Amino acid sequence: MSSHKILHNLLSLLFKSYSKVQSLSLSLLLPSCSSSSPSFSPYFSFVQMAAITSPEVLLEVFPYLRVLKDGTIDRVAGTQVAPPGLDPETGVLSKDIVILPQTGVSARLYRPNTAKPGTKLPLVVYLHGGAFCISSAADPCYHTSLNNLVAEANAIAVSVNYRLAPEYPLPTAYEDCWAALNWVFNGGEDRDSWVKDHVDFGRVFLVGDSAGANIAHHLALRIKDSDPDPKLKIAGIGMVNPYFWGKKPIGGEVGDLVRKSMVDTWWNFVCPSEKGGDDPLINPFLDGAPGLEGLACGKVLVMVAEKDILRDRGRLYYEELVKSKWGGRKELIETRGEDHDFHIFNPNCDKAKILIRDLGKFVNQD
């Protein structure tokens, strides 16, 4: 029996003992990515337990990782790797490249295998989630999702492998993604032929889920700030279950203090400071934070899930965007009955297919 299955069974038994105390849902970031698997998410919505520890563990950031007393980071989720290559189900080809040898920043590139030489396609610069501390572009769940998105949108994709906290504290992830975006536009002869030969640079999109959506927001603001006539031109941003937060609970967070406390813990772990959840990196609506009118793109799609603890932050982002002086096209889509990143962990369910179809439309609509 796999370690995933053993841990899942153990946590299921523990969950049953807690379910009599309050109605809570088991949502663990340790599934397989098959259609036969139930839908899971990285939000584990019951009382944090002191079990499954050892004398060597200094800190548990449940359910993602453990910090051992010798300083080792022991990740228990998001460590699986799928090889690149031709996906027979979607006809999408992928390969891994190094973008910045000096830092090790890399990416997984995707293109439809049927793309003919000289054909220009939209580009999706994809930024994966994982609370800034787990996962990668090679994660099997993300690999499946990107294959599906590239096939649906008939696009090229650059899925960025940014460095993770705590080994590389924030804002390293933002800087790595900024460097990757600059490579896309300004890499010259160092750019891969898939990018040089197939990308329509008038149709470049930032798309990310969870922490990746947060990064996409900050990159779009930075483009505007970096140059009044930017060389980096983003057509739109697709934000799936965006990871924004704040010290003061809003909406459903008010009655869900268990998950509120867990998200507080995750953010404080990757970005320790006295600001906590009111750091402008995670809370874009603080006084003094850059205004949304500075987003350097023509359209924004915000996608939220009904059962996600982050749902109200995503809705707030959209509402503030509507109220701002930003003049682009904006859209909000809510998926009923689903939790955070359901489309990543259960990519073959009907609602995941609808989400990918909506993202594909967003990329291809003028």
Instruction: Give the residue numbers annotated as catalytic, written as ranges.
Output: 210, 308, 340
The whole-angstrom separation of Cα 280 and Cα 218 is 10
- Sheet containing 57-61: order of strands: 57-61, 65-68, 73-75
The DSSP code sequence of 219-250 is: HHHHHHHH-SS-S----EEEEES-----SS--
Q: Checking phi first, is residue 215 left (phi over 0); if not, alpha (psi -120 to 50) or beta?
A: alpha
**What is the rounded CA–CA span in Å between residue 302 and residue 318?**
7
Q: How many CB atoms lie within 10 A of CB 68?
A: 14
In angstroms, the CA 16 to CA 336 distance is: 25
User: What phi and psi values does residue 16 have, to the nearest 5 degrees?
Assistant: -60, -35
- C-alpha span between 170 and 269 (Å, rounded): 10
Q: What is the DSSP string of 39-67?
A: P--S---SPPP--S--TTEEEEETTTEEE
Nearest to 280 by CA among 214, 205, 226: 214
